[in-house]
Amino acid sequence: MSEAEIEAQFNTNVYGPVRVLKGVLPFMRARKSGTIVNISSSAGIDGLPTCAMYAGTKFALEGMSESLAKELAPFNIRVLVVEPGSLRTNFWSAYVEPTAGMNKDYTGTPLEHVLQAFKSNTGTQPGDAVKCAKRVLEVVDDTGMGAGKGDLFRLPLGSDCYARFQTKIENLQDNLLQAKDIAHSTSY
């Protein structure tokens, strides 16, 4: 990706939400209530080959949201991070390849395979965008399937996202256990 393409990704997925937050937070703090809904992605949990910059923006949004949730809790302001999986929308058909194209070094690698899967799976994604939107609203409004789930910080949507989330947690746990002795060896 060119620097301009990377900048556009961060402008949309990170700085866009920041600008909205800067506009609404003074009013929310004054009211001492509200819910911030940040739309992330399963890529904010588990980055895939071909999605490094997109995943980077979603990881940034999720990290920012974690900090904000802790900062804003005293004001009774909730932060909800929505993490949709693959939804049957035109998202992948609207994919624009980087202007430089795919580096030939990646031919035959997972990056090329994931890119081909994105292109060929358009229209067969497992997630229903309308159902996802309803679930988000239910969680925000404490109704339907969201009733009693007001403590949710992350809202993974779709069976594919849920599976990726589970795998990520298992991998993190394995990594943490393997690094335990190294981590503890650095204390005074």
Q: Residues 54-92: pLDDT tens digits?
A: 899 999 999 999 999 999 999 999 999 999 877 656 666
Is 54 a known active-site residue? yes
Average pLDDT for 25-31: 98
Is 106 a known active-site residue? no
Report how far Cα 109 is from the mean position of its chain's Cα atoms: 24
User: How far is the CA of 11 from the CAs of 86, 111, 122, 133, in angstroms?
Assistant: 22, 24, 26, 24
pTM of the model: 0.83
Q: Which residue has the tokens 């849920």?
A: 162
Q: Residues 35-61: pLDDT tens digits?
A: 999 999 888 998 887 788 989 999 999
The one catalytic residue in 40, 41, 42, 86 is: 40
- Rounded CA-CA distance 112/102 in Å is 8
User: How far is the CA of 176 from the CAs of 132, 147, 184, in angstroms?
Assistant: 32, 34, 11
| Whether 157 contacts 85, CB under 8 Å | yes
Nearest to 133, CA basis, from 120, 151, 146:
146
Domains in the chain and their CATH numbers?
A: 3-161 (3.40.50.720)
Q: Residues 125-169: pLDDT tens digits?
A: 666 888 988 999 999 999 999 999 989 999 999 988 899 999 999
The one catalytic residue in 41, 58, 65, 86 is: 58
**Torsion-angle region of 48 (φ positive above 0: left; ψ -120 to 50: alpha; else: beta):** beta
The one catalytic residue in 2, 15, 22, 54 is: 54
